[in-house]
Structure 1
Amino acid sequence: MIARLRNGLRDPKVARFAVLVLLLCACGIAVLFLPQPDLAAAPRIVDRLGLLAPPAAVLLGAIMMIVLIPRTLVSVAWGALFGTVGGASYALGAALLAAALGFAVGRLLGRDFVAERVRGRLAKLDGWFGRQSVFGVVTVRLLPVGGFGLISYGYGTTGARLRPYLIGSVLASVPSAFGYAAVGAAVASPGEINWFAIAPASLGLIATTVIITRWRRASKRTPAATPAT
C-alpha cells in the first residue's frame, strides 16, 4: 500500500491534489485550536489603524474565510467594529477576495486531478459547473452544502468560469452580510433598532422563491426524451 502511495504521488496531478487535501485538513484543525481573539482590544486597534482599517479588515476577513472560519462570524464582527453599512461592505470585499483566492488554489492544485478522473454522472456535473451562469453560482452558494471557503476551493476544482463565479459569490453573500453586520452593530450599540437585521430572512425567502420558480420553468421547457425506434 505504501508503495502504491509513493507511485501515485510521483504523478504531479496526484501530488498537487494531495497538497490540497492536506491544506484543507490543516485549515480545519487550525480553526479548532485558534486562540480566542481579544474583542475588547479590537476597537482600539481599528482606531490606531485609521485609514488603513478598511483594507486591513478586507484582507483579514479574506484570510479568515480561506482558513474556513465561517463568513457569518466575519460579518458579525465587522458589523460590531464598523457599523452595519461599513461592516457589510468590508465583509463583502473580504468575501470577493476569499472567493478568488480559494478558486485559484483549487484550480491550481485540484483541477487537473479532477478533470482526468471524472466519469459518468460526475462528468455531467462537472460540465454543468462549466456552463454555469451567475444565477447558478448564486443557487449553489445559497444551498447549505458547505462553508464559504470550502465551496470556494471546490469550485476551483471544477470547470467553472471565473467571472460568473465571482459575481455570483458576491451576490449570494449580500443579504446575509448586511443582516449579520446589523446584528453585530446592534450588539455593539444596544437599544438601537436597525432594519437591516431583517434582511437575511426577507431576501433569503425571495431568493428561494425565485430559485424554485426558475427551476420549475426550466423543467417544463426541457423536452421529454423520445424512445428509440
Structure 2
Amino acid sequence: MRQRSVVRFGALLAVLGLFGLALLLAPTPDLHEMPRLVDRLGPFAPVAAVLVCAVLLVALVPRTLITVAWGALFGPVQGAGYTLLAALLAAAVGFAIGRGLGRDFVAERVRGRLARLDGWFARQSVLGVITVRLLPVGGFGLVSYGYGTTGARWTPFLLGSVLATAPSAIGYAAIGAAVVAPDRINWLAVAPAGLGLIATAVLATRWLRTERHLRAARRTADVS
C-alpha cells in the first residue's frame, strides 16, 4: 500500500513537471488568428471557450493571461462567465487528480505540525478556501492539485474556488475588453478586482488573527 502511494505521488509530480516543461517549450499562439477562429466556431464558440480554458488551467497556464484574452475575444461579461465556468471545471479536475494520486502519500506521512495543518484543511469552510485562493501561494491549477492531496472536502473547495475567482475574473476580462475596444468599456466593471484586493487583505488578517489565537490557546493548554 505504501509503495503504491509513493508511485502515485511520483506520477503526480511527473505530471506537474511535464506541464511546467510544456509551458516553457510551447510556441506562442497567433493572437491575430484567434478572433477568426472564434468566428468560425460560431455557436460552438462558448463551449470551446470553457473547455479550452479549463484544459489550460489544468495545464498550469496562468489564469490571468487566459481571462484577459477571453475578455478581449468575448467581451467583459461573456469572457468572465466563460472563465468562471472553466475555473469550476478545472478546480474539480485538479482536485480529483491530486486526491487520486497524492492523498494517500500525504495522509501516511504527515506528522506534528503538518498533521495539524492537514486537519485545518479538512475542517475548512468556504471562507477558508477563499482565503487560501486569494493569498499569493501559487497558481490556480497548482493550488487545486495541492488541495486534492489534503483532507479538504469537495463542496467547500469548489464553491470557495469560484467565489474567490469571481472578482478578478470580472476585472481581468474587463481589462481585456478595454484593450480591443477602449471606448466601449465601463470602468466600473473593474471595481470587483479592487474589491478582491481588499478582500484578500481582510481575509489574510482574519486568518493570521485566528492562528495567533490558536497558538495562544495551545500554549495555555500546555502550561495547565
Structure-2-length-normalised TM-score = 0.91
Displacement of 1:209: 2.4
Structure 1 residues 213 and 19: CA distance shift in structure 2, 3 A: closer
Farther off after superposition, 198-207 or 173-182: 198-207
Residues in 1 aligned to 2:94 and 2:63: alpha-carbon distance in whole angstroms: 14
Displacement of 1:51: 1.5
Unaligned runs of 5+ in 2: none
Displacement of 1:154: 0.3
Unaligned runs of 5+ in 1: 1-8
Residues in 2 aligned to 1:223 and 1:167: alpha-carbon distance in whole angstroms: 31
1:198 aligns to 2:191 (yes or no): yes
CA contact (8 A) 2:174 2:185 kept: no
Equivalent positions of 1:154-193 (< 5 A) are 154-193=146-185
Residues in 2 aligned to 1:213 and 1:132: alpha-carbon distance in whole angstroms: 14
Equivalent positions of 1:116-155 (< 5 A) are 116-155=108-147
Residues in 1 aligned to 2:222 and 2:214: alpha-carbon distance in whole angstroms: 18
Equivalent positions of 1:1-229 (< 5 A) are 11-195=3-187, 196-213=189-206, 216=209, 224=217, 225-226=220-221, 228=223
CA contact (8 A) 2:177 2:185 kept: no
Residues in 2 aligned to 1:15 and 1:220: alpha-carbon distance in whole angstroms: 39
Size of the aligned set, in residue pairs, is 221
Deviating above 2 A after TM superposition, structure 1's stretches of 4 or more consecutive aligned residues are 190-194, 206-224, 226-229
Residues in 2 aligned to 1:215 and 1:77: alpha-carbon distance in whole angstroms: 35
Structure-1-length-normalised TM-score = 0.89
Residues in 2 aligned to 1:222 and 1:120: alpha-carbon distance in whole angstroms: 14
Identical pairs, percent: 58
Displacement of 1:41: 1.1
CA-based RMSD: 2.1
Residues in 2 aligned to 1:26 and 1:62: alpha-carbon distance in whole angstroms: 17
